[in-house]
Amino acid sequence: MAKHNTHRAVGRATTPVSNARVAARGMGGAAVLGTVLVGSAFVGGTAQAAPAPAPAAPVTAPAVAPAAPEAAAPTVVLNTTEKLRWGSRGGNVADLQSGLNQNGANIAVDGKFGPRTHAAVKDFQRSNGLLVDGVVGPQTRGALNGGVSVPSSGTSAPAKKSSSASTSSIVERARSVVGTGYTWGGSSPSAGFDCSGLVTYAYQGSGLNLNGRTASQITNGGRTISQSQAQPGDIVSWPGHIGIYAGNGQVIDASGSKYRVTERGIWGNPTFVTYR
């Protein structure tokens, strides 16, 4: 009987992998020992992992300087050359009231130039170093418009004089024609005067513009005040008759009963009207 040698040398194991080794060589050097190692490479006989690609550097957007803000164009509050005062009405007064509210006032925008609008105008004039007369002329309008002027549609308005200078010139002009004859519809020293013609003549060149030509129009176009508030140059009005207040209870008027321009004491209970 043949005997088989079942004893193997210690430490020597025989593994049938010779064919696998041959196959591995044919696969570009990838080692397969029981398990196929994909992506391995032999370098100097040692298997090493392929190097990972370097991370891409972060892309930083170029810094852009912020654009400088554009200066806001001045806003024209009053786009008119109309002189606004107590008693004025309409869209220009509403624009005025809106402009005053933008400057700290708190009044209704109703298009009516009444006592609250008058007081707000005076407050605005006082805070801006303007003549405080409650009348919105070129200087007050320019301040409300931030210095932007409004082109005149025709002849330029006369320069605004101070209240005291205006009223003084009115009295002096009326007093200069005392004794001139009375003429219905007259408004000059050569033609004579009626009552409203004398008042219109006295106000010429004063910087204060009357509303209307007749006695009732002039009276209704101004602001009614008490006698204690009246100043020389204001208007004294009776039904159908007007004159210039000269101060100290005196009036200069073209009298139909005396047939001339006179300076005399005030009689009855007249109404006092101002255009200041």
- Would you name the residues annotated as active-site residues? 195, 241, 253
Burial of 274 by CB count in 10 Å (0-12 exposed, 13-18 middle, 19+ buried)? buried
Task: Find residue 224's DSSP bridge partners.
Answer: 273
Helix or strand or coil: residue 101?
helix
Task: Find residue 182's DSSP bridge partners.
Answer: 193
The sign one gets for the Cα dihedral 253, 211, 147, 114 is positive
CB 76 within 8 A of CB 150: yes
Provide the angle, in degrees to the nearest 10, between the axes of the packed helices 195-203 and 163-175. Answer: 130
By C-alpha distance, which of 176, 180, 141, 177 is closest to 157?
141
Instruction: Specify the DSSP element, H or E, that contains 170.
Output: helix 163-175
Task: Find residue 264's DSSP bridge partners.
Answer: 251
In the chain, the amino acid numbered 179 is G
Sheet with strand 235-238: strands edge to edge = 223-225, 271-274, 235-238, 241-247, 250-255, 260-265
How far is it, in rounded angstroms, from Cα 147 to Cα 245? 37
